[in-house]
Amino acid sequence: MNSRERFIETIHHRDPGGVVFDLGATKASGISASLLYKLRKAHGRDEPVKVYDTFQMLGLIDEKDAEMFGIDVLGIWSDMTVFGYRNDRWRPWTLPDGTPALIGEKAYISQKNNRLYMHPQGDPNAAPSGCLPLNGGHYFDYITRQEEYDEDHLNGYEDYREQLEIMTIDDATLDYYRKQAEYYYNNTDCGIVLNAEYGNFGATSMLMGGYAKRTPGIRAYSDFAAAQSLYPEYIEEIFDAWAKLCIRNLELLYQAVGDKVQAVFLCGTDFGAQHSPLMSKTMFEDLYVPAFQRTNGWVHEHTPWKTVYHSCGALLPLLNDMVACGIDCLNPIQISADGMDPAALKEKYGKNLTFWGGAVDGQTTMANGTPQDVEKQLHQNIEILQKDGGFVCCVVHNLQDNYSLDNVEKVFETVREYK
């Protein structure tokens, strides 16, 4: 079987005959632009990296990388970024560490007090919505721009209206998706993931609205977390509007890319911390499960796609609900978090969830271990998770720019043993 065929087999929980490897098919299994440049250069490809996501400073993986590093899955993306400028055209940009890169032509970045600021929609007159400290910063973190709100007159539909309008897919974005899907489908044998994070209920990207010039209503993460208990009707209004947007966009996307893609990445909301979920099981069931059931239900009823969700942390108390609301593939399987033991997860959920990650830990082994540590953990976890399919092999979350090249090369080398 080729890469696409193996990918199809594994997400349908059938033995693919070899490990399916992902690097860069989603924003939660990606790679730092700086690290990607160093890796490419080490393999004889010395050219600037496209920074398609400035929030996490991720480099765009393409078909040449897939061949070079043994990648089996490629992602297709919106031209609209989380800061509201488009990636339809590229211009040169030098990263703070000196790495040559490319960025969307309309991105507007200012500098003040040793910080870089990203302005929404490339408007220099708009208040910045992202900040990257030049001393030790790695990402354009969102800036909380919460305005005053009246708790007695909350209106979720109105507060998030501008964001919903910006996120409504237009013809240019549909064409951007269509061309990528056609190119990868016809010119590679890789599996294809549609990145359509329009189901990001409660995610920081939703709250902070980095692509909007104003963010009225409840936006600070701590205030939003409290509002889930204090004003659940307000949260339900927001999620209702968000679900309608998501389904409307998915309808258009299926018309554009159809069966050329095999999976859709819908949500990157984190529900877990290191030792426990971020909310009670009851709150998750009351607020999030209905929204996920609507969006996943549409996908399963109208397309052959599998749904992919990301959440870091200790998720064990929520996994039954995640399965019940139609999540097919879960990333990143944070094996360093409490209760996230690969063997136990595979035993209990291996027939229902495709584990997209969990091969080697990013917090500990990749960051601080030796290549021998990386190899040992990879062997251990691949042997557990690959049985009977349902496993897309990748590092737990994105490859960071502080990982050594030796550790990353050891990942490539070890995974090839299972091809």
Express each pLDDT in 397-415 by its tens digit.
999 999 999 999 999 999 9
Q: Please, what is the average pLDDT of the chain?
A: 97
% of the chain beyond a pLDDT of 90: 100
Tokens of 270: 């984190």
Residue of 274, 269, 364 lying closest to 313 (CA atoms) = 274
| pLDDT of amino acid 210 | 97
| pLDDT of amino acid 361 | 98
Q: Record the pTM.
A: 0.97
Spatial separation of the C-alpha atoms in residues 229 and 357, rounded to whole Å = 32
Q: Which domains does the chain have, with CATH numbers?
A: 3-30+65-82+144-416 (3.20.20.210)
When pLDDT is averaged across residues 301-323 and rounded to a whole number, the result is: 98
Query: Collapsing DSSP states into helix, strand and coil, what is residue 137?
Result: coil
**Exposure b/e, 188-199, CB count within 10 A at least 16 = b:** bbbbbbbbbbbb
When pLDDT is averaged across residues 160-167 and rounded to a whole number, the result is: 95
Tokens of 9: 């087999």
When pLDDT is averaged across residues 250-278 and rounded to a whole number, the result is: 98
Residues 67, 71, 74, CA angle at the centre, nearest 5°? 100
Phi and psi for 381 in degrees, rounded to 5? -80, -35
pLDDT band of residue 162 (cuts 50, 70, 90) is: very high
| pLDDT of amino acid 4 | 98
Query: Collapsing DSSP states into helix, strand and coil, what is residue 258?
Result: helix
| pLDDT of amino acid 129 | 98
**Burial of 88 per CB tally in 10 Å (0-12, 13-18, 19+):** middle
Give the model confidence (pLDDT) of 3-51 as tens digits. 999 999 999 999 999 999 999 999 999 999 999 999 999 999 999 999 9
| pLDDT of amino acid 378 | 98
When pLDDT is averaged across residues 188-209 and rounded to a whole number, the result is: 97
Spatial separation of the C-alpha atoms in residues 313 and 339, rounded to whole Å = 9
| pLDDT of amino acid 264 | 98
Give the model confidence (pLDDT) of 317-350 as tens digits. 999 999 999 999 999 999 999 999 999 999 999 9
| pLDDT of amino acid 134 | 96
Residue of 2, 48, 364 lying closest to 185 (CA atoms) = 2
The string of DSSP letters for 45-86 reads: ---PEEEEETTTTEEPP-HHHHHHHT--EEEE--SB-TTS-B
When pLDDT is averaged across residues 88-94 and rounded to a whole number, the result is: 97
Enumerate the β-bridge partners of residue 204: none
| pLDDT of amino acid 334 | 98
% of the chain beyond a pLDDT of 70: 100
| pLDDT of amino acid 419 | 94
Q: Who's near 198: CB < 8 A, 6+ residues apart?
A: 167, 242, 245, 246, 249, 250, 266
| pLDDT of amino acid 338 | 98
| pLDDT of amino acid 10 | 98
Spatial separation of the C-alpha atoms in residues 412 and 282, rounded to whole Å = 41
